[in-house]
Structure 1
Amino acid sequence: MPEWVNRPEGSNWGDFGADDQLGTLNYIGAEQRRAAADEIREGLSFCLSLPLDLPGKVVLNPRRKPPRLAPTYLGDTPYINYPLSNTDPVLKDVLSDDQVVLSTQYSTQWDSLAHVGALFDADGDGVPERCYYNGHRAEVDVLGAEPNSQHASFAKRLSASEMAKSPIQGRAVLVDFVRHFGTDRVIIGRKELEEVIAAQRLEIREGDILMLRSGYAEALWDMQDDPDADRLGQTGAVLDGTDTALHQWITDSRIAAIAADNYAVENPNADPHACCLRLPLHHHCLFKLGMPLAELWYFRELAEALARNNRSAVFLTAPALYLRGSIGSPVTPVATI
């Protein structure tokens, strides 16, 4: 159990228990799931994931590599189109079996609460230490390479697998920035967000997941294996992570998570001296509130169906992979209406 004396201003550390690893996902309970099921009316379902080999070339983040598929091996023998018997006239099965090397946050993804921490004096000794949501510590709860481990990193606590054990399933609301602003770059603070919510008559409840459509992932889909970084940098609405009024709205709304179709959810802070580095909204959500963020989701067909039916809410199923120790997770979200 993490121990701390100080908690960051504006945080909810300890509100869900001293040992909590789920943060605002605690807002999704049985009542919220039952209410979410009421959003299933047409019986239509939509995949909200890009193919996990997009965004194509390594443009958005050079640290994150596209997936590489390969056969499994027995000794030096690759099991791809492998005949199980070359001699038996009866046993004629042919087997293909594969494996993948995948950056967990390359494409459609969840950020876990172990993804972004901060230097903060949680133990009150006057010296800031590296820590994460609810006082969890670097090198205690989130590990680098250790002797005798098969892993080179491992989140013992706050892993994305916690979002699989308590699977993410509930009501989600689409905020369609494309319908309101088009697909040009627009910076969204609290004022602009509330303008869209009012214009689209959105009802946002405690425990909802906010889905933000900017058109960015749709542009990526259209570009396929040749993404244009300059054009993408001018595509779609992004949240203003420096807007403290927006931070307060996110806190007060008691939403469970934010899932965006763009890269990073927020507009990176260009000020190198900013108090919270380049991603202040990540700092507020992941570090202070324990609110998971999702990136590069895909909303085109869902948005069209919701608009046709004059609707905005869906039943969402979006658990992370149950991969213990993972800091991010690919996800194939499914929206049902």
Structure 2
Amino acid sequence: MLTEASPLPPLSSLPLRPGDPPRSAWGRWGKDDQLGTLNYLTDELVQKAILGEVKTGQRVGLNLPLDLINPPLLGRSAFEKKIINKAPRVINDDVISFNTQSSSQWDSFRHFAFQKEGQFYNGAMQGEIHGSGSDYSNPVNGLDAWAKKGIAGRGILVDYADYADRNGIKYDKTKAHQISVDVVKTILAETKTEVHIGDILFLRTGFVQGYLTLDQSEREAMKMERQWPGMMQSQTTTEWLWESQFAAVAADNPAFECGPHADPAWHLHPILLAGWGTPIGELFDLEGLSRMCKKTGRYSFFVSSAPLNYSGAVASPPNAIAFF
């Protein structure tokens, strides 16, 4: 297993093994690894993040309501709730049903494969995930590996929506809009935020802010659209993400990256999830976090996340909290 001090090979040297998909880093953390870049989150790094970032005890939840995105995007199943009256005793239970990607979520490494090769992280195949018939007993690349310790470390916010508002950049927050690495670096410099190995990157595109202004008919109209602001796909973007050595990345939009793709050759979902084993967070609620960062003048914080724990999870609500 690599340590923080281990040299990072250049992106141009990927794949690390002959015959693996382009830009993949399989074997970097071991052939049977299930954590990918979450391996950066050692006990020592987490302790350092707690001591360095938790000053006041102020907390901000990063989770949208499970039933907020209605109808869910991309044709996913809607949230359902049933409250059960346990009469004659005065007791209630409730039962909920939802697609784990219909609101705030982490994508696991079994969510998105290299499409041409049909391979997920470390070479896992669709047949391994689906098994024979309805046998889903193989947990390879599932979120349950992450749930054993949770996700915890130093988070940093790149508040593009606020930057755009301050600089007169007009864009529809629910439509296609590309955010370049140069702008991200400018925002980091303006907020005096350094990137550390093992950081969890949060990008506020403004999508949730824009979504909350829509009426129901407008929400219905966008349910199958694949347009949203986000990180621009490019070689420059990919090199910066690789060299930054983030433990995970997340945004308030439905994909972290922009839709439609600025450059399909640098589609980030297969590179991050299947290639590097980097978790992608989507539809995080970053509105309260933005206000807290502006109030405190701090754009770094400690973040904890406890994904759902069941065998072979494809995605999960993050159950995430930022601590200041």
1:191 aligns with 2:205: no
Q: Which residue of 2 aligns with 1:238?
A: 230
2:309 aligned counterpart, secondary structure: coil
Matched, 1:317 2:304: yes
Paired residue secondary structure (1:291): coil
Q: Relative to structure 1, is the Cα distance of residues 270 and 5 closer, same or farther in structure 2, using a 3 angstrom cutoff?
A: closer
How far apart, CA to CA, are the structure 1 residues paired with 2:236 and 2:286?
27
Q: Deviations over 1:38-74 (max 9, x none)?
A: 211121111111111011124x211x12211125xxx
TM-aligned CA distance change 1:219 to 1:144, over 3 Å: farther
Q: CA deviation at 1:13?
A: 0.8
Deviation at 1:234, TM superposition (A): 11
Q: Deviations over 1:13-44 (max 9, x none)?
A: 10101100111111111122112212111211
Give the direction of change, closer, same or farther, for the CA distance of 1:267–1:17 in structure 2 (3 Å limit): same
Are positions 1:23 and 2:36 aligned together?
Answer: yes
Unpaired stretches in structure 2, ≥5 consecutive residues: 1-16
- Report the 3-state secondary structure (helix = DSSP H, G, I; strand = E; otherwise coil) of the residue aligned with 2:230: strand
User: Aligned equivalents of 2:190 and 2:197: distance in 1?
Assistant: 20
Match of 2:45 in 1: 32
Residues 54 and 226 (structure 1 numbering): CA distance in 2 closer, same or farther, change over 3 Å?
A: farther
1:109 to 87, 105, 108: 105
One-letter amino acid matched to 1:184? Y
- Alignment length, in residue pairs? 298
Q: Which residue of 1 aligns with 2:126?
A: 138
One-letter code of the match for 1:18?
A: K
Q: TM-score, normalised on structure 1?
A: 0.80
1:67 to 70, 79, 85: 79
Contact residue 55 and residue 225 of structure 1 kept, 8 A: no
Q: CA RMSD in A?
A: 2.6
**2:145 corresponding residue in structure 1:** 162
Distance in structure 1 (CA, Å) of the matches to 2:294 and 2:187: 14
The answer to whether the 8 A contact 1:154-1:326 is kept is: no
Structure 1 residue 325 displacement after superposition? 1.6
The answer to whether the 8 Å contact 2:198/2:246 transfers is: yes
User: In structure 2, what is the equivalent of residue 124 of structure 1?
Assistant: none
- Amino acid of the structure 1 residue aligned with 2:39: N
Write the distance in 1 (CA, Å) between the matches of 2:285 and 2:254.
12
Amino acid at match of 1:47: G
**Structure 2 CA distance, aligned partners of 1:285 and 1:316?**
20
Q: How far did 1:95 drift? A: 2.0
Correspondence list, 1:254-269, <5 A: 254-269=245-260
In structure 2, do the counterparts of structure 1 residues 229 and 216 end up closer, same or farther at CA, with 3 Å as the change threshold?
farther
SS in 1 for 2:155: strand
- 2:22 corresponds in structure 1 to 9
In the alignment, does 2:323 pair up with 1:327?
no
Instruction: State the shift of 1:82 in Å.
Output: 1.6
1:96 aligns with 2:92: yes
Check if 1:42 corresponds to 2:56. yes
Alignment deviations for residues 74-112 of structure 1 (CA, whole Å, 9 cap, x no partner): xxxxx41421xxxxxxxxx32222212110100000000
User: In structure 1, what residue type is equivalent to 2:305?
Assistant: A
Give the C-alpha shift of residue 327 in structure 1. Answer: 0.5
- Normalised to the residue count of structure 2, the TM-score between the two structures is 0.84
User: Residue 295 in 1 paired to residue 279 in 2?
Assistant: no
Identity of aligned residues (%): 29
Aligned 1:206-245 pairs, distance under 5 A: 206-223=197-214, 227-228=218-219, 237-241=229-233, 243-245=234-236
Give the gaps of 5 or more residues in structure 1: 72-78, 84-92, 121-127
Post-superposition offset of 1:225:
5.2
Deviation, structure 1 residue 236: 7.0
Q: Is the 8 A contact 2:230 2:259 kept in 1?
A: no
Return the offset for 1:218. 2.3
Asked if the contact 2:191/2:298 (under 8 Å) is kept, the reply is no
* Letter in structure 1 aligned against 2:183: E
